[in-house]
Structure 1
């Protein structure tokens, strides 16, 4: 092991024989607590449960990565803060329900914040501030990633062994192992203990992992050469053919461009290492890292143009606002990496990149933490933008995405949609009212423009007007009903007292269920339940059905639908 690698390991780090056992117990208990407090089968997990699950999942993990025999008080406080932050975010996500549209992004922002905060804490940033040694921070970033990945692999191998042992004992009629493995509590506890034990072993070998880090960075740096050549050709091609060629080649250039920028960022840092004396003397690697550093800004700017073009065309949405944040971070890194070689005419550019990494990591961590807090409502911002575009005539009424207001922007979008129902424009008000009745989100870009035609396609074989109204409500709420002539048959009341109706269309039969005491619900399910009976028996062809077909119910060891004398669908009883 080189003296250089040893120098990057923290001074407080020492081999701790009890570490694997303590971390196995810590994370095993944490896994058991996650099981006890979770309720994965519930449609909506209570907020307090979600908060406790997040606290026991992330707090012990943070402690496992940071604790040491000679340094445990500060890691315990840090783990407590991580548990508190993630518990608060989980509470907020669970309470949000469908009132917001970007809950998953809050959780992602929290994860980014604690992922960046952990190596900074391990390097002592909370005490040293900007005097924190870059090589220490960089060392922890890589060793955390390598030890975490190694522990995951060990956990997977451990599960494979347990499954094999369970099968082995079951082969001789000893089912106790298999029965225990099938218990939900065992899965969480065993996974936590296996991960903790492996992590403890690996954390005891940080100096060796430091050597492995050098090997990993060497492999990555080799990849930097072909990527730098490819990016140089790509950027020259874009300059020669114009940016439109990129838009024509893919519908989602922004994620693609950002992904390549992230790859360039990783490979640049694999080459420049912790200090200049660690950088390879190979000129090809050095020039490749310079090309990649300079390429990040053009890639980020192309992503910004792509995002801006899409926003100009379609307006804001919560997803696009989060995309703007990602692009802004990429541009910030791109500017820093582009400026580093220019300042001082290339000399010392690697050291300037390292300093920029520290400042940008702290800034990104703070930004992610702020965005995880309930300070901004991206749904409300998007709804205001979309309404402003409609009012300004920037988007035609028939191209305006009313469905997005109903489904994608949370309560703010639904409130904006409700205001549109009182619009002075009768077409806007009509579409807004129709959108409010949707029971599920239509396919993106789909609009039910033939609702009146579909209602006209219904032929009722019963006189009960109240039941007819409920059937019409279901057809209005589902754009796939009655595109062709369809027939509604009264099947009578079921054992639950609800009225059953068979909808026959194109030779297929659907059964709807209604409570006539409830208000008419314009939804596909007629307020409660629908049973689709689309299959026919294997030896029967689906009968042809026309607008004039005779559709009836006959006795056939029970009742079933007949079209022009031919059976359709399965029997009802």
Structure 2
């Protein structure tokens, strides 16, 4: 611990601080430029956006790995930091690639995309792994003394919170200044803040600056941490009384009310997590000269006993739901959290009842649970234990065993909620020898939206659509009446960004066609002989254009030009060309 403090304070001299500042600013700049280039690729639909798996890998790595560098520079040697950052980049890239690869990317969505769970759990795994690895590198031991883990991890947590707060405050002030200038007719700053080439790199630079500013004031950070831990530790008494009262009341109230919430497992696990965090704010580094007051020591013991019954309750509720309805992705993730919670529950219970050395088993429990958490997250968001694949296998097995009838089986889960694994299983069911299963599976394959997407839900989405005609034109009443058939195409047309609509005869047939500028493209509609509006074509944005500029451009006017390449007829089949678009100096941007 002494060596750690000497290392941190010894590097804050003028020369060291200047070098660290330069490295962190460079890291922030590289991250900002990388993220902006990825944004530009997605907006312009050029590589790597054209290969979603590659894009997902690059996006997750570019978003998180620079934070490893910001946190590790000055704390470990350069070579060790480079190797650790490279390893983290490789793992994150694999997680991002797998997350996108398992999804079904629909044309009307914003591909490529990373799911929220991989973003959240990936960040958690990286934070935990970083603060297991950095102390090990510095001490050249696999397992270091617990005070070292505590000091580095909690200090980094405070730095992260302050840095995020600083970045948020920076943007609040910029928008305030932009609003002031806007009041006097100067909108340049507001326009600048909306430009991605400015916003993304500046955000990364400001965050890197905040990390440096908090790092060079080491004593201040430790002081803030001490105050924060002291305040939070007293909240432990509150949650202990509440959870204790809840558990004591259960024998009298029964569990029916708990299960009726349909979120009992998540609530109980959240309570257990709150207890774990607050216990650690009171225990801190566990040194004999840093013991909390007597009342908090009793509170820590009582709270540690309460975690185990909460985990048992969560496991029981989860087992009931799985037994009744089978596995889903959410239930698999909940089961993984329950497994980690069981380690905490057993370890903290042992620490609370074991005599001698106040709560010492807690330290080994925290380290073991941290390692397990990282391993579980890596398994969940890789092919090893992909929740979508496992849940699809379980649901199909339940159908085949007769636990679910062919008519009540949730085919929409396979079609819309479980990615490629679900679509693959649905294709197998469509070829089933059971005629009811095959019929229902084929019906699900043909549906453009979930059957659970009720008429009310689609009406709400339809009501949210906003269209704006230009040049004195009006949106045809027949088109408005048929909007329910275009909900999935016009999903981005809302009150905040209404889509511009222009009427004209595109093909010279004497009938009115419509052009609608959506978030990703300009969509062409015409009416068939029965008066039904249908999509006849899509004009993709190129060369860095975005929806706002397309809306503005379509408002001013539109012209048509002859096709650059004619259609081909090969053996009676008409083939249409997809010309290459080159964004050179002659291409207007």
Q: TM-score, normalised by structure 2?
A: 0.71
**Is the 8 Å Cα contact of residues 21 and 200 (structure 1) preserved in structure 2?**
no
Which whole-Å CA distance do the structure 1 matches of 2:94 and 2:44 have between them?
A: 20
C-alpha displacement of 1:159: 2.0
Matched, 1:58 2:64: yes
In the alignment, which residue of structure 2 is the partner of 1:420?
429
Matched, 1:17 2:17: yes
Which whole-Å CA distance do the structure 2 matches of 1:10 and 1:116 have between them?
A: 23
C-alpha displacement of 1:424: 4.4
Superposed CA offset, 1:145-180 (max 9, x none): 111111111112222333344455566666654454
In the alignment, which residue of structure 1 is the partner of 2:155?
143
Matched, 1:387 2:429: no
C-alpha displacement of 1:357: 0.7
* CA 440–273 in structure 1, closer or farther in 2 if over 3 Å, else same: same
Superposed CA offset, 1:127-154 (max 9, x none): 6445401111111111111111111111
**Is the 8 Å Cα contact of residues 102 and 318 (structure 1) preserved in structure 2?**
no
In the alignment, which residue of structure 2 is the partner of 1:566?
none
SS for the counterpart of 1:9 is helix
* CA 239–368 in structure 1, closer or farther in 2 if over 3 Å, else same: same
C-alpha displacement of 1:494: 5.2
SS for the counterpart of 2:407 is helix
SS for the counterpart of 2:528 is strand
Say which of 378, 391, 395 aligns to 2:387: 378
Say which of 236, 252, 255 aligns to 1:240: 252
Matched, 1:188 2:200: yes
Which whole-Å CA distance do the structure 2 matches of 1:172 and 1:512 have between them?
A: 45
Say which of 24, 40, 43 aligns to 1:41: 43
SS for the counterpart of 1:443 is coil
SS for the counterpart of 1:513 is strand
C-alpha displacement of 1:8: 5.9
Say which of 282, 295, 299 aligns to 1:288: 299
Say which of 64, 67, 83 aligns to 2:89: 83
In the alignment, which residue of structure 1 is the partner of 2:443?
434
Which whole-Å CA distance do the structure 1 matches of 2:6 and 2:85 have between them?
A: 19
In the alignment, which residue of structure 1 is the partner of 2:570?
none
Superposed CA offset, 1:155-208 (max 9, x none): 122223333444555666666544543321111121111111111011112233
Which whole-Å CA distance do the structure 2 matches of 1:102 and 1:55 have between them?
A: 12
Which whole-Å CA distance do the structure 2 matches of 1:139 and 1:502 have between them?
A: 73
Taking the TM superposition and a 5 Å limit, the aligned residue runs for 1:111-150 are 111-124=123-136, 128-150=140-162
* CA 150–281 in structure 1, closer or farther in 2 if over 3 Å, else same: closer
Which whole-Å CA distance do the structure 2 matches of 1:134 and 1:69 have between them?
A: 18
C-alpha displacement of 1:333: 1.3
- Structure 2 gaps of 5+ residues are 107-112, 456-481, 489-508, 514-523, 537-589
The root-mean-square deviation of aligned C-alpha atoms, in Å, is 3.4
Tell which deviates more after alignment, 201-210 or 353-362. 201-210
In the alignment, which residue of structure 2 is the partner of 1:396?
405
In the alignment, which residue of structure 1 is the partner of 2:216?
204
Matched, 1:350 2:362: no
* CA 145–514 in structure 1, closer or farther in 2 if over 3 Å, else same: closer
Which whole-Å CA distance do the structure 1 matches of 2:181 and 2:401 have between them?
A: 72
Which whole-Å CA distance do the structure 2 matches of 1:197 and 1:61 have between them?
A: 12
In the alignment, which residue of structure 1 is the partner of 2:336?
325
**Is the 8 Å Cα contact of residues 68 and 85 (structure 2) preserved in structure 1?**
yes
- Structure 1 gaps of 5+ residues are 447-470, 478-490, 504-510, 516-573
SS for the counterpart of 2:77 is coil
**Is the 8 Å Cα contact of residues 155 and 222 (structure 2) preserved in structure 1?**
yes
Superposed CA offset, 1:98-142 (max 9, x none): 189995444444323211111112312586445401111111111
In the alignment, which residue of structure 1 is the partner of 2:168?
156
**Is the 8 Å Cα contact of residues 12 and 71 (structure 1) preserved in structure 2?**
no
Matched, 1:410 2:431: no
Say which of 83, 90, 93 aligns to 2:99: 93
Say which of 255, 261, 282 aligns to 1:271: 282
C-alpha displacement of 1:499: 4.2
C-alpha displacement of 1:223: 0.4
* CA 428–175 in structure 1, closer or farther in 2 if over 3 Å, else same: closer
SS for the counterpart of 2:240 is helix
* CA 377–21 in structure 1, closer or farther in 2 if over 3 Å, else same: closer
In the alignment, which residue of structure 2 is the partner of 1:540?
none
Which whole-Å CA distance do the structure 2 matches of 1:211 and 1:219 have between them?
A: 12
- Please tell me whether Structure 1 or Structure 2 has the larger radius of gyration of its CA atoms: 1
**Is the 8 Å Cα contact of residues 109 and 371 (structure 1) preserved in structure 2?**
no
Q: TM-score, normalised by structure 1?
A: 0.72
SS for the counterpart of 2:277 is helix
Which whole-Å CA distance do the structure 2 matches of 1:99 and 1:309 have between them?
A: 33
**Is the 8 Å Cα contact of residues 494 and 500 (structure 1) preserved in structure 2?**
no
**Is the 8 Å Cα contact of residues 492 and 500 (structure 1) preserved in structure 2?**
no
Superposed CA offset, 1:214-252 (max 9, x none): 21111111101111111111111113333223213x121
Which whole-Å CA distance do the structure 2 matches of 1:153 and 1:167 have between them?
A: 21
* CA 265–203 in structure 1, closer or farther in 2 if over 3 Å, else same: same
